[in-house]
A and B are shown apart, each in its own frame.
Chain A
Amino acid sequence: MIRLDDVSKRYPNGTAALHDVDLFIEAGEFIFLVGASGAGKSTLIRLLIREELPTTGRVVVDGHDVATLRRSQVPLLRRAVGVVFQDFKLLPTKTVAENIAFALLVTGHEGHQVKEETERALALVGLTHRRGHFPRELSGGEQQRVAIARSLVNHPKILIADEPTGNLDPVTSWEIIKLLTRVNELGTTLVMATHNAEIVNALRRRVLHLDHGAVVRDEREGLYAA
Chain B
Amino acid sequence: MRRISYIVGAAWEGFWRNPVMSIASTLTVSLMLLLFAFFIVTDRGLQAAVTVLESKVELVLYLEDTAKPSDILALKARIEKDPAVTRVDYVTKEQALARLREIAARKKDFDLADVDTNPLDASLEIKMASAQETSRLAASLKDEVGRGVVADLVDNPTVVEKLLTITRVLSIGGIAVLGMMLFVALFVIVNTIRIAVHGRRDEIEIMKLVGATDWFVRWPFILEGMLVGALGATVSLAIIIAGAGPVTTAMIGFLDILPVSLGPNFIAQLVLGVFGFALLVGAGGASISVRTHLAK
B104 within 8 A of A: no
Chain A 78-111 interface 0/1 with B at a Cβ cutoff of 8 Å (1 = within): 1110110000010100000000001101111111
Interface members, chain B 192-229 (any A CB < 8 Å): 202-203, 205-214, 216-217
A152 to chain B, nearest CB (A): 11
At the interface, yes or no: B2 with Cβ under 8 Å from chain A? yes
A71 at the interface (CB under 8 A from B): yes
Residue of A nearest to B204 (CB): A106
Asked if B90 CB lies within 8 Å of chain A CBs, one says no
Contact B214 A71 (CB under 8 A): yes
**Do B202 and A89 touch across chains, with their CB atoms under 8 A apart?**
yes
Say whether B202 contacts A76, CB under 8 Å: no
Q: Is residue A154 contacting chain B, with contact meaning CB distance below 8 A?
A: yes
Beyond A75-B212, A154-B210: 12 further Cβ-contacts under 8 Å? A72-B213, A72-B214, A75-B213, A78-B211, A79-B210, A79-B211, A82-B210, A91-B203, A102-B210, A105-B6, A106-B6, A106-B210
Q: Count of A residues near B, CB < 8 Å?
A: 26
Closest residue of chain A to B13, judged by CB? A93
Listed in ascending order, the chain A residues whose CB lies under 8 Å from chain B are 49, 71-72, 75-80, 82-83, 89, 91, 102-103, 105-111, 114, 150-151, 154
Per the bound structure, the CA–CA distance linking A17 and B213 in Å amounts to 29
Tell me if B1 counts as interface (CB < 8 A to partner A): yes
- Closest partner residue, chain B, to A77 (CB atom): B211
- Chain A binding surface SS class: helix
On whether the beta carbons of A89 and B211 are closer than 8 Å, the reply is no
B3 at the interface (CB under 8 A from A): yes
- Chain A neighbourhood of B212, CB < 8 A: 75, 106-107
The residue in A78, A79, A82 that gathers the most chain B C-beta atoms within 10 A of its C-beta is A78
Report whether B203 and A78 are in contact in the complex, using a CB–CB cutoff of 8 Å: no
A106 near B2: Cβ-Cβ < 8 Å: no
The reply to whether B213 and A49 form a contact with Cβ atoms under 8 Å apart is no
- List 25 A-B residue pairs with CB atoms under 8 Å apart, sorted by A's residue number: A75-B211, A75-B212, A76-B211, A78-B209, A78-B211, A82-B210, A91-B203, A91-B206, A102-B203, A102-B206, A103-B210, A105-B2, A105-B3, A105-B6, A106-B210, A107-B210, A107-B211, A107-B212, A108-B213, A108-B216, A110-B1, A110-B2, A114-B2, A150-B210, A151-B210
Inter-chain contact A106/B1, CB cutoff 8 Å? no
| Across-interface contacts of B2 in A (CB, < 8 A) | 105, 109-111, 114
Chain A residues contacting B1 (CB-CB under 8 Å) are 110-111
Question: How close is B12's CB to chain A, nearest CB, in angstroms?
Answer: 15
What are the residues of chain B within 8 A of A154 when measuring CB–CB?
Answer: 210-211
List the A side residues contacting B209 at CB < 8 Å: 49, 78, 83, 89
Interface-centre pick from A76, A107, A110 (highest chain B CB count, 10 A): A107
1/0 per residue, CB under 8 A from A, across B93-106: the answer is 00000000000000
Cα(A61)–Cα(B12), bound, Å: 37
The contact string, 1 if C-beta is below 8 Å from chain A, for chain B 219-261, is: 0000000000000000000000000000000000000000000
Q: Which 4 A-B pairs have the closest CB atoms?
A: A79-B211, A78-B211, A106-B212, A103-B210
Shortest distance in angstroms between B220's beta carbon and chain A's nearest beta carbon? 10
Give Cα distance in the complex from A106 to B217, angstroms.
Answer: 8
Contacts of A109 in B (CB 8 A): 2
A53 to chain B, nearest CB (A): 14
Inter-subunit contact B216/A106 (CB<8 Å): yes
Residues of A within 8 A of B207 (CB): 106
The answer for the CA separation of A1 and B212 in the assembled complex, in Å, is 22
Q: Which residues of A contact B211 (CB under 8 A)?
A: 75-80, 107, 154
